[in-house]
Structure 1
Amino acid sequence: MKDCTLYKTMDIIGKRWTLCILLELYKGNEKKQFNELKNMLETITPKTLSTRLRELQEHGLVKKEVESSQTPVRCNYSLTECGREFIQVIDEIKNWGLRWKFDNQECSMSDCRFCGIEDVLYTK
């Protein structure tokens, strides 16, 4: 199974907190600092956040920019093109859940305050 595309993909995105981190990077500002992400994901540990961000960088979904011109040094995280495209997959997962599993009035709105995904984003 190690060569299976689906297996490899699930190994990247199936880890706890991964989808939440991607969604937080998608919302609002284009770039977010580590502490901003930590505050938005209240119960994630710093170690887990650091590990997931590093993994997402390695797989090309997140990019890290280091601002060394300031003290202390600041690291900004943002979605790559690959990461922004993956938001569409998360939106499809949400739509599947709304259609088949979960009656959630708030999430059926076009701009759910929790995930921040807007339906108009994906018009082709």
Structure 2
Amino acid sequence: MKDCTIYKTVDIVGKKWSLCIMHELYKGENRHKRFNELKNKLQDVTPKTLSTRLKELEEHGLVDKKVDDSVFPIKSEYSLTESGEEFLNILQNIKKWGLKWQFDNPECCGTNCKTCDL
């Protein structure tokens, strides 16, 4: 099992909050989001967990972190990498499965996740 690609992939993206963080980075017009912006959208995540997940996603090439140290306080912004953007196709399929088999959510069904404000 340790060499199974599915197990390895789930170990990267299956940790609590990882998919939600990627989804929030995808949503909206702004491709770059600050830590507090993510924290406010993901109200139940602790700052420590958010920080840890962002570092893990960055290490695996799904999230990019840009640091601007020319301003004070230092400004850090996060965005999805090309790999992270491609992974969003999988999240869209998870959404389709959920709508088909688990959840009756007409509002979500008719909404593009990119423009969703939920």
The root-mean-square deviation of aligned C-alpha atoms, in Å, is 1.1
Give the Å deviation of 1:27: 1.1
Cα 1:13–1:42 change in 2 (3 A) is same
The answer to which structure has the higher helix fraction is 2
Cα 1:36–1:47 change in 2 (3 A) is same
Identity score, percent: 61
Give the Å deviation of 1:117: 4.2
User: Which runs of 5 or more structure 1 residues have no equivalent in the other structure?
Assistant: 119-124
Q: In 2, distance between residues paired with 1:41 and 1:65?
A: 21
Q: Report what 2:111 is aligned to.
A: 110
Q: In 2, distance between residues paired with 1:44 and 1:75?
A: 19
1:43-65 C-alpha deviation (Å, 9 max, x unpaired): 11000000000000011000001
Q: In 2, distance between residues paired with 1:18 and 1:12?
A: 8
Cα 1:99–1:117 change in 2 (3 A) is farther
Greater length-normalized contact order (CA 8 Å, ≥ 6 residues apart): 2
Q: Report what 2:2 is aligned to.
A: 2
Partner secondary structure for residue 63 of structure 1: strand
Partner secondary structure for residue 43 of structure 1: coil
User: Which runs of 5 or more structure 2 residues have no equivalent in the other structure?
Assistant: none
Q: Report what 1:122 is aligned to.
A: none
Give the Å deviation of 1:110: 3.0
Q: Report what 1:19 is aligned to.
A: 19
Corresponding letter in the other structure for 2:2: K
Give the Å deviation of 1:13: 1.0
Q: In 1, distance between residues paired with 2:40 and 2:75?
A: 16
Higher alpha-carbon deviation: 81-90 or 93-102: 93-102
Normalization by structure 1: what TM-score?
A: 0.88
Aligned length, in residue pairs: 114
Give the Å deviation of 1:109: 0.8
Runs ≥4 residues deviating over 4 A? none
